Chains A and B, each alone.
Chain A
Amino acid sequence: MGWQRKVLRVNLTEGNVQVEPLNMEWAQQYLGERGLGSKYLYENMDPSVDALDPANVLIFATGPLTGTMASTSGRYAVITKGALTDAIACSNSGGKFGAELKYAGYDILILEGRAPEPSYLKIYDDNVEIVSAEAIWGKSVWETEDYLKSHHQDPLMKVASIGVAGENCVRFACVVNDLHRAAGRSGVGAVMGSKNLKAIAVRGTVGVSVDDPKTFMQVVKDTHAKLAGSDDVKELAAYGTNAMIDMMQEFGGLPTRNFRDVQFEGVDKINPSAMTHVHENGHKNLLANKACFGCTIACGRISHIDKDHFTISNRPEYWHASGGLEYETAFAFGPDCGIDDIDALTFAGFLMNEHGMDPISFGGTLAAAMELYEMGVITDEDTDGVALNFGNAEALTVMAEKTGKFEGFGQILGLGSRRLCEKYGHPGLSMTVKGQEFAGYDSRALQGMGLGYATGNRGACHMKHDVFGPDMEDQSGAGKAVPCKKSQDKISAIDSTGLCWFTSGTWKITDYQAQVDAACEGDWSVERLFETGERIWNLERQFNLAAGLSKADDSLPERLLKEPAKSGTAKGKVNELDRMLPEYYDVRGWDADGVPTQETLERLGL
């Protein structure tokens, strides 16, 4: 139990829908969500095909705990070959869509081929239809969700969709569910667009069950209580993830102006205090916090924009409340672009959700374009007359809208920073790994974070490893390989449960293990969870090697390796990747070229 034991396979080219039994041998080896979805991806496609080719496969995967009464059990993952990275992509999301897909009876949804015309998928338990999307193609995410709920007269329907950005294969387009939760990274929305698939609308009524209900209820009660009494949870609820912006500023690891600097002079105007500041006209950015399905943390922010602000003063359609600033959005639009206008940042965040784009990658790409503009490489002629200087809030919002609607210079920004910087002859200015833009942690200040970025199977990402503890204690590369590897394995397992990583500040691995063990068949020990995570990590690596990636892709931009941090606790330091990487490969059981040895593969059953 835990699993629904069913896979929904949809061939969009042929218009076929079929239900098949879940491969339970794989479920016991890869658990669910990220792990099991990656296994299905690996076994169902040639990793070397182009990410936008119909032969790429797009998978929506729930975990065995998705939709259960466990706290934060709303997670699902979108797994495919990433349009931004040309590597394996696993982008997970909260909201309510994942639980609804599980309630419809499916662990895994596999989407193959390319629909001959724009379509959406309607899932009502066993009733699955591929429907023409003629009425919604060209519409935003928000318009699409409104239309589908209205058209089907079902306000309880849950929708995951793409905007115009995804339709046009903007490389960092994402899949948005429940209006402002997103499988945001690596361009999974572009892959969905390449398949002519606008949306997935789902209602489920079959529920979920677990292997040992009595034990599960007790374990869930205990883990709920731990979250309720946790200072970490109280801080997440009170401040949201944007609390990080003050910490990174004071630590000296806040990437600023395309990583030229590591501290931002305008941080006080965009931090959590600024979000709760009441202005003379009575306006306050933050209205409330919001939780995903089953979540007892509620880190999400709901904000609105001052009606007098230049972005919306003549646009009443944006006078409503919507998803507010989270740390990564605040960093990417704020310090990285040198902008300290909180309403502009919030509006650009709205646009990301409305049009379905990853704010980290959009912000990173705009920051690179701003540097190129200030160098004179990009000119007003390229930018439709918009001055792309660092600090220009209007440039941020105008370009966010142009990219979302795939207009003018927005089409170039939609390439992502790697392709954009290559186009203009300065590939070194792209702050990416494997083509994916960095999150808001500078790896000159956080050495282990740099190792995690460089070795990330989906490219630069802050959510697939956790070396913060060692990084806070020691700002050299010494001793970072072991905790990096161990945390990657741990997170790979937790990402495969259906639970949210933001519980990890409170829960120990034994808390996840107890919930998995009670929900799922089989004896799930802590050791087995770590081994499962290691198996998943190595499977993802195998996918990438088969896709043509190599040791050369486990790198960092020269700026982080050669230009010392100018200020903060890491002043004078660069990242020591050359020191860490060989040790990491050794700890992983990989050879000097980063290829898993036969012994490692056999040990993991790969």
Chain B
Amino acid sequence: MFLQQLVNGISVGGIYALIATGYALIYSLLGFSNWAHGEVAMFGAYMALTLVTRTNSPFLGALVFGILGAGLLSIFNEKVAYKRIRDHGSPTMFLMIAAMGISTTYQNGAMLAFGPKFQMFPSMFETSTIQLGSISIGILDVISLLTTIVALVVLDLLINKSKMGLGIRTVASNSYTASLMGINIDRYFALVFLLAGMLAGSAGVLLGLKYSVYPTMGNVSLKAFIASVLGGLGSVRGAIVGALIIGILETMVSGYLSSGLRDLVTFGLLIVILLVKPSGLMGVTIEDKA
């Protein structure tokens, strides 16, 4: 029973991690929490759903389509809104307010475009389960878990091993100095939005498959946001750890206590952890230099 819950928790936490890493990536470069990130995931889910219902595309095609759609929307947000706000030299607070506005816009736009109803993907996989000792895992969960692992490993390699990742880390550590060194920082900002958007898109498709697709499904990103705060704002690995903690905690509370208490425990834990570690589990304390 416990192991079963643990596996479910990791599976849910993995999907949170796909979104949470996006929060961390964008925060590390721009210093603000992109509240519109959940809606990017929602958009990816709708893209995939549309493709599947129209063309009977297989899972992989739908996944790629959703990922691309979400990535493009994420860049669109950056180019149309965030970049302009930065160019005005406005405080980062304005970026967050804009993100809130974008989130509201997309949520209600989706409501008008697709209707408020919950839509299911047509069944793509056998509903059979894999038996591993005492644990049984649905095929869908296996695929979801594999997709998550592949995406996160690729992301980690990309950031920590590739030349592009070095550029991202450079811009993150000090975008102003990086721009003085001749690095085209806007390109890296766009790149990070693309990466974050693609990750969110994959999360959206997986969530849509597991549950359903609906206009406010982006609110799930709240959990991912909490995960990224828990892990420490701007820390990608912290976000993954935070997401797994939250995923596991949620399934455990639902399984052993009551699903009504799930959110209460999550938020309670969040506040307690922040009081003990004000900059999250893996965050860096920034001292304001006078």
Query: Do the two chains belong together in a single complex?
Result: no
Chain B interfacial positions (CB closer than 8 Å to A): none
Chain A interfacial positions (CB closer than 8 Å to B): none
